Chain A
């Protein structure tokens, strides 16, 4: 594989891996905390949350399966595990779900022998495209969050903790960045740079950090005057340590919930961006593009509905699971629900 291919692959895949690793890390680290153990107990009792996490788990597995690609030989394009399962399309154009194949070829893999969810305009299997779209959504959500969260955390903590002019600057920053309507900023950035995943995500990240920053700042303000911070200061603990080891962990619950919701919002965003033509380039397989194509497809006779339905269905499941999970986390962590 050429270096360029490797590199672009890495950039695209890295955020996904990083996000998933982070999630696992947070999960493992927090098991040590008493507070979190209680939260997990509550979470465990919530059946709906378990279903949501299951769905997210399935999605994540599929995404990982699609991440790592290799080349069978020099001339071929890189393929991933998913690619290997779904062979090259052999339908010419649309076909309905579960329709028998037009060419007489017999497929070995049962999943692919009949196109379970139909095919699209160039004959690609819809299941295949849906899975590819998962990866895209995860990249968009993950990468953008990776951009947005550090910015929000750093600025929010600094503003809330140090106050005065630092606070003023940060407030000014997030008002400026927040008052430019995100869509316009994204369009502007994407138009000027290139229409690739990376730039779209960077743009999304740069516009989404404001809400999170406000949240972090508010929470930091609340904690700054708590006794434990004053005690730490009195003991001579450096500001940096206080922020990193004392205040930040206390913020994590709210931040995690907010990030979960942010992820889902960004995934939804992608559809709109694709519709407007500033989202993912059409070839890369995203749900947004599938839905966008559906506009014409619905008016055909007979109507081609499966692209739209299954893409939105997959997206719906993802966003729904994230929302349910965020709600469940909120219920589990909320100290007000703790009696005695």
Chain B
């Protein structure tokens, strides 16, 4: 098992390098530092001098190869440097500030949505074929087909204007600040549960059709035990696998939620950087996002090994 884990960790390294390379190519390969400088100087006609000063400040005045070296070192060493925008703040500090709210929102939204989806899926799998099943599935598909933006607008309007029940946006750290999380988590729930219910229901039903379920029934095992013991444990394997591929969209969802609900997390930071065309920040965020994803993959592999003895005993 240990060997398996070590192998997975080792696989991470080329991936990290690959992502850094990709980021580098995207940013520096397509755009020359001069154009970046022009954009950020925002003067009508920046003089050569101004451009050169800017480039020098931001370390862009080297050859491509040197740039790459600097780039790799900075990313791998987590030395993100300063932001390109006028504020020239240290990126790492801002990241630290924004991490907590983002994490709070992301974990709450994730667990509630996933948990709700799984619970509903189990219920629906048990009641398969009844009208509850069909109704729930129909609701799931419809709720999935509405863009998240509409939910945000709708719920904000509904709670804010019609029920006059706040808060509709904003953030406060700590336990009392949890009430700011209610609406965003609700949005995540309504828009995301449908997807999970359908997915998990498919997994559960797939397992229910397997031969070993028939054997369990032939043994005389009670039906709910068949579901909760036999089927569920097997179904958790694909559940875990697909959970990881969801992480990138978590970041996306977080982005939207943070910006709509005014939560000062990393997502908002990123959006600000985009609107301000701040490449250094965007680059750092892309890298971070990737790291998160890769760690998620690693976590999946570990969980996989824990749940599935076939993997464990390789």
- Do A and B touch each other in the complex, judged by CB within 8 A? yes
Whether B15 and A175, one on each chain, are in contact in the complex, defined by CB atoms closer than 8 angstroms, is yes
- Please tell me if A184 contacts chain B, counting CB pairs below 8 Å: yes
Give bound CA distance, A271 to B153, whole Å: 13
In the complex, which residues of chain A have a beta carbon less than 8 angstroms from the beta carbon of B27? 188, 192
B201 to chain A, nearest CB (A): 12
Task: Decide yes or no: A320 and B149 within 8 Å by CB, A176-B18, A278-B274, A298-B157 being known contacts.
Answer: no
Select one of A176, A183, A189, A291 contacting B153, CB under 8 A: A291
Number of interface residues of A (CB under 8 A): 45
Select one of B14, B248, B255 contacting A276, CB under 8 A: B255
Task: Decide yes or no: A188 and B26 within 8 Å by CB, A172-B14, A176-B18, A272-B256 being known contacts.
Answer: yes
In the complex, which residues of chain A have a beta carbon less than 8 angstroms from the beta carbon of B23? 180, 188
Question: Which chain A residues numbered 189 to 221 have a C-beta less than 8 Å away from chain B?
Answer: 189, 191-193, 211
In the complex, which residues of chain B have a beta carbon less than 8 angstroms from the beta carbon of A288? 149
- Please tell me if A181 contacts chain B, counting CB pairs below 8 Å: yes
- Please tell me if B290 contacts chain A, counting CB pairs below 8 Å: yes
Residue with the greatest number of chain A CB neighbours at <10 A, chosen from B15, B248, B255:
B248
- Please tell me if A43 contacts chain B, counting CB pairs below 8 Å: no
In the complex, which residues of chain A have a beta carbon less than 8 angstroms from the beta carbon of B26? 185, 188-189, 192
Whether B282 and A179, one on each chain, are in contact in the complex, defined by CB atoms closer than 8 angstroms, is no
Chain A's closest residue to B206 (CB) is A336
Task: Decide yes or no: A320 and B248 within 8 Å by CB, A191-B277, A192-B31 being known contacts.
Answer: no
- Please tell me if A262 contacts chain B, counting CB pairs below 8 Å: no
Chain A contact surface mostly = helix
Give bound CA distance, A77 to B271, whole Å: 35
Bitwise interface map of A from 261 to 300 toward B, beta carbon under 8 Å scored 1, else 0: 0001000100110011110000000001001101100110
- Please tell me if B299 contacts chain A, counting CB pairs below 8 Å: no
Chain B interface extent, by class: 35 or more
Task: Decide yes or no: A184 and B282 within 8 Å by CB, A175-B297, A272-B252, A278-B274 being known contacts.
Answer: yes
Whether A316 and B145, one on each chain, are in contact in the complex, defined by CB atoms closer than 8 angstroms, is yes
- Please tell me if B148 contacts chain A, counting CB pairs below 8 Å: yes
Chain A's closest residue to B296 (CB) is A179
- Please tell me if B10 contacts chain A, counting CB pairs below 8 Å: no
Give bound CA distance, A327 to B249, whole Å: 22
Whether B30 and A276, one on each chain, are in contact in the complex, defined by CB atoms closer than 8 angstroms, is no
In the complex, which residues of chain A have a beta carbon less than 8 angstroms from the beta carbon of B123? none
Give bound CA distance, A181 to B26, whole Å: 14
Whether A188 and B286, one on each chain, are in contact in the complex, defined by CB atoms closer than 8 angstroms, is yes
Whether B289 and A180, one on each chain, are in contact in the complex, defined by CB atoms closer than 8 angstroms, is yes
Give bound CA distance, A192 to B245, whole Å: 27
Bitwise interface map of B from 1 to 25 toward A, beta carbon under 8 Å scored 1, else 0: 0000000000000110011001100
A57 to chain B, nearest CB (A): 18
In the complex, which residues of chain B have a beta carbon less than 8 angstroms from the beta carbon of A144? none
Whether B141 and A320, one on each chain, are in contact in the complex, defined by CB atoms closer than 8 angstroms, is yes
Chain B's closest residue to A275 (CB) is B149
Give bound CA distance, A187 to B15, whole Å: 21
- Please tell me if B285 contacts chain A, counting CB pairs below 8 Å: yes
Whether B209 and A291, one on each chain, are in contact in the complex, defined by CB atoms closer than 8 angstroms, is no
- Please tell me if B86 contacts chain A, counting CB pairs below 8 Å: no
B100 to chain A, nearest CB (A): 20
A338 to chain B, nearest CB (A): 13
Give bound CA distance, A291 to B150, whole Å: 7
Whether B153 and A298, one on each chain, are in contact in the complex, defined by CB atoms closer than 8 angstroms, is yes
Give bound CA distance, A271 to B191, whole Å: 14
In the complex, which residues of chain A have a beta carbon less than 8 angstroms from the beta carbon of B282? 184, 187-188, 191
In the complex, which residues of chain A have a beta carbon less than 8 angstroms from the beta carbon of B285? 184
In the complex, which residues of chain B have a beta carbon less than 8 angstroms from the beta carbon of A182? 248-249, 252
Whether A324 and B141, one on each chain, are in contact in the complex, defined by CB atoms closer than 8 angstroms, is yes
Bitwise interface map of A from 159 to 180 toward B, beta carbon under 8 Å scored 1, else 0: 0000000000000110111111
In the complex, which residues of chain B have a beta carbon less than 8 angstroms from the beta carbon of A189? 26
Task: Decide yes or no: A180 and B19 within 8 Å by CB, A312-B146, A315-B147, A320-B142 being known contacts.
Answer: yes
Bitwise interface map of A from 83 to 107 toward B, beta carbon under 8 Å scored 1, else 0: 0000000000000000000000000
Known contacts A179-B15, A191-B274, A272-B148; 5 further A-B pairs (Cβ under 8 A): A175-B15, A179-B248, A182-B252, A291-B149, A315-B147
**Which A residues lie at the B interface, using CB under 8 A?**
172-173, 175-185, 187-189, 191-193, 211, 264, 268, 271-272, 275-278, 288, 291-292, 294-295, 298-299, 308, 312, 315-316, 319-320, 323-324, 327, 336
29 intermolecular pairs with C-beta atoms under 8 Å apart:
A176-B18, A179-B248, A179-B294, A179-B297, A180-B22, A180-B23, A180-B289, A180-B293, A181-B251, A182-B248, A183-B252, A184-B270, A187-B282, A189-B26, A191-B277, A192-B31, A264-B145, A271-B149, A275-B149, A275-B256, A291-B153, A298-B153, A298-B157, A308-B153, A315-B147, A316-B142, A320-B145, A323-B141, A336-B209
- What 7 pairs across the A-B complex have the smallest Cβ distances? A319-B145, A179-B293, A176-B18, A181-B248, A271-B147, A320-B145, A181-B289
